[in-house]
Structure 1
Amino acid sequence: MKHLIMGVPKNENFPVFEVGVAMPTNKLAALMNWQDESDWIFDYQLDAEQISAIEEVEKYELPKELDLFLTYRSSSK
């Protein structure tokens, strides 16, 4: 299982940015307030607090000019 952050320009539908998230899924679950494993497979628009927490753990800065989404990609891809 792999989570990614995708960045989409405002008022558009297609991502122009993608980066992997190495944070363990259990830490992501706490950050995202997921209740069970089925919550992990959906796409979520990230808020400023979630973005800051991910940047701190991942040690990278995410683009501010894009809408950022956390998404899931199965490990078979």
Structure 2
Amino acid sequence: MGGRAVEALILDLDGTLIDVIDLLYLSFNEGLMRLGLMRLGGRQIPRDLFKELLNKGYSLSDLVEELAPPHISRRRLVDVVSEAW
């Protein structure tokens, strides 16, 4: 096909090379905003709490379960946060 061969592949699964916590945090809060939760008196999730849960190994689904308001569809929030990301 004329393409170049891949000589190396770098994976950063633990955030050592690139810290994506801020991007994940912004995406999570963007998901809340897209669902109108910020306009309903909702507040952003504290960044320190968000970072603490990520460092404990929480997945996106775990974060939603722990942090989302009880009246919101968990599946919908996961989808919206994933879209924002």
Q: Give TM-score, length-normalised by structure 1.
A: 0.38
Q: Give me the TM-score of the superposition, normalised by structure 2.
A: 0.36
Richer in helix (by share): 2
Higher relative contact order (CA 8 A, sep 6+): 1
Higher strand share: 1
